[in-house]
Chain A
Amino acid sequence: MLPLTLDHVEFSVNGRDIIRPITCEIQAGTRTMILGPNGAGKSVLMRLCHGLLQPTRGRVVWHKAVAAQRARDQAMVFQRPVMLRRSAIANVMYALKLAGMAPVECRLRAEDVLEAVGLASVAERPARVLSGGEQQRLALARAWALGPEVLFLDEPTANLDPNATRDIEQIIGAIHASGTKIIMSTHSLGQARRLGDEILFLSEGRLAERASVDLFFRQPQSPEAVSYLRGELP
């Protein structure tokens, strides 16, 4: 379904522009980091790509239109994980069942991903009593189980401590290694550097700069990126 093309995508709410015209093409394979200060429009841009929001103007076009299969072809993990009031494994199975998988298969697949994210031992525990880090790992497992072609991650470690953050970053690496395209927003420079291949730098709803991670950190081109890199704590 990739590449994903944004064609003059704009988004505004009550006359306030959140996303000013953005045109770009996102390719398969690389890990794309959407970087920028708070309020730059990172989350909104991801929701526009994922289809949770409709652009006010412009179009979001997937290479292969597969609207009906959307749930399985792309998935999203949010900043605050939304856990259903049931066991950890049932949370994963819920997503698989919605995607149309047979119940027996669901359980096997769910057990596999929980094992992969290190949650096999708490599979039967109610999801809502897990720690914040465990909940986010479960959210990743739920998305990963679907075997999506593209995974959106909206600041998945914003509420987590360093240890939990490390776990999450490892899992994201494994998901990418399994062949899933990663599109992730973050405001952490270190994380963007660790996880990213390319940077989309947003500033005030504009795509201020797009570059490989290496180039972006060595030689930022836009004044906004230069000042962001200077101002951000290490």
Chain B
Amino acid sequence: MNDLTQAMYAATRLIFSADALLVSIIALSLKVSFTAVLTAAIIGFPTGAFLAITRFPGRQMLIALLNALMGLPPVVVGLLIYLLLSRAGPLGEFGLLFTPTAMVIAQAVLITPIIAALSRQVIEDAWREYEEQLRSLGAGTLAAARTLLWDTRFALITVVLAGFGRAAAEVGAVMIVGGNIDGVTRVMTTAIALETSKGDLPLALGLGMVLVAIIIGVNLLAHGVKLTAQRFHG
């Protein structure tokens, strides 16, 4: 208990003194996770929309598979990306291993299925309501997909948040492909793991508090935006 109080005290001081090390770690974390979410959304939304409104043999299988991929273990994803990016791997020539780019790739791979699967559900529900009207107006698959993505935009905010939460919180994948190199690829989760094992509990706890605060803050903000917009648009 004493450890915890002391650590809390030191952590609070670190946060309020805007410790340079702490700030750089937080900044990198946010940069990596936001980029990963953006990438995953660019791929996941159209995939979800396409799966929601088209009918083809094997579609149900694909949806089940996509849902299963939501539970991909981060360390396994990390390992696969590691093998792809390592010197001897098929993408080794780009020299991406142990760079922030590799971490973005790993997180994007992790959360693209989440965004695709959840947006598929949201868009399919909307499609049930819109289908006849849109077909009556002569909308093709592409036009319908675009319309539905726009019309479900408030619900899709929540989908993005689910992805962001997963990306910002995972440690296994970024640890493997990033290598937790000080000042280069160290992010909040890997730093927490490292500092804890080294015994620097204040820094670990400070980072932990910031991480939780960021995730709560982003969610509150997005939720507020969503509620206001929904009240206005109906």
Of B130, B132, B137, B153, chain A has the most CB atoms within 10 Å of the CB of B137
**Closest Cβ neighbor of B234 among chain A residues:** A128
Q: Is the CB of B150 within 8 A of A85?
A: yes
Q: For chain B, residues 120 to 175, give those with C-beta under 8 angstroms from any C-beta of chain A.
A: 129-130, 132-133, 135-139, 143, 147, 150-151, 153
Q: Is the CB of B233 within 8 A of A126?
A: yes
Complex-state Cα separation, A98 to B138, whole angstroms: 7
Do A85 and B136 form a contact, CB below 8 Å, given A126-B233, A126-B234, A129-B233? no
Q: Is the CB of A75 within 8 A of B139?
A: no
Could you say which residues of chain B place their CB within 8 Å of the CB of A128?
233-234
Number of interface residues of B (CB under 8 A): 17
Q: Quick one: CB contact mask for B223-234 with A, threshold 8 Å, 1 for yes? A: 000000000111
Could you say which residues of chain A place their CB within 8 Å of the CB of B233?
85-86, 126, 128-129
Partner among A70, A82, A126 whose Cβ is within 8 Å of the Cβ of B133: A82
Q: For chain A, residues 64 to 97, give those with C-beta under 8 angstroms from any C-beta of chain B.
A: 70-72, 75-76, 78, 82, 84-86, 94-95
Could you say which residues of chain B place their CB within 8 Å of the CB of A72?
138
Complex-state Cα separation, A76 to B139, whole angstroms: 14
Q: Is A99 an interface residue (CB 8 A)?
A: yes
Partner among B130, B143, B234 whose Cβ is within 8 Å of the Cβ of A98: B143
Could you say which residues of chain A place their CB within 8 Å of the CB of B135?
52
Could you say which residues of chain A place their CB within 8 Å of the CB of B147?
84, 94
Expressed in whole angstroms, the minimum distance between the Cβ of B153 and any Cβ of chain A is 8
Q: For chain A, residues 99 to 135, give those with C-beta under 8 angstroms from any C-beta of chain B.
A: 99, 126-129
**Closest Cβ neighbor of B231 among chain A residues:** A129
**Closest Cβ neighbor of A135 among chain B residues:** B234
Do A82 and B143 form a contact, CB below 8 Å, given A98-B137, A99-B138, A129-B234? no
Could you say which residues of chain A place their CB within 8 Å of the CB of B143?
98
Could you say which residues of chain B place their CB within 8 Å of the CB of A75?
136-137
Expressed in whole angstroms, the minimum distance between the Cβ of B9 and any Cβ of chain A is 49
Expressed in whole angstroms, the minimum distance between the Cβ of B142 and any Cβ of chain A is 11
Complex-state Cα separation, A171 to B81, whole angstroms: 62
Q: Is A8 an interface residue (CB 8 A)?
A: no
Q: Is the CB of A85 within 8 A of B151?
A: yes
Of A71, A78, A85, A94, chain B has the most CB atoms within 10 Å of the CB of A85
Q: Is the CB of B234 within 8 A of A52?
A: no
Could you say which residues of chain B place their CB within 8 Å of the CB of A82?
129-130, 132-133
Q: Is A59 an interface residue (CB 8 A)?
A: no
Expressed in whole angstroms, the minimum distance between the Cβ of A153 and any Cβ of chain B is 12
Q: Is the CB of A50 within 8 A of B150?
A: no
Complex-state Cα separation, A48 to B218, whole angstroms: 49
**Closest Cβ neighbor of B154 among chain A residues:** A85
Expressed in whole angstroms, the minimum distance between the Cβ of B206 and any Cβ of chain A is 42
Expressed in whole angstroms, the minimum distance between the Cβ of A78 and any Cβ of chain B is 6
Expressed in whole angstroms, the minimum distance between the Cβ of B225 and any Cβ of chain A is 15
Expressed in whole angstroms, the minimum distance between the Cβ of A28 and any Cβ of chain B is 20
- 17 more A-B residue pairs beyond the given contacts A99-B137, A126-B233, A129-B232, with a C-beta to C-beta distance below 8 A: A47-B132, A50-B136, A52-B135, A71-B138, A78-B133, A82-B132, A82-B133, A85-B150, A85-B233, A85-B234, A86-B233, A94-B137, A94-B147, A99-B138, A127-B234, A128-B234, A129-B234
Q: List 16 A-B contacts (CB under 8 A).
A: A47-B132, A70-B138, A71-B136, A78-B132, A84-B151, A85-B150, A86-B151, A94-B137, A95-B137, A98-B138, A99-B138, A126-B232, A126-B234, A128-B233, A128-B234, A129-B234
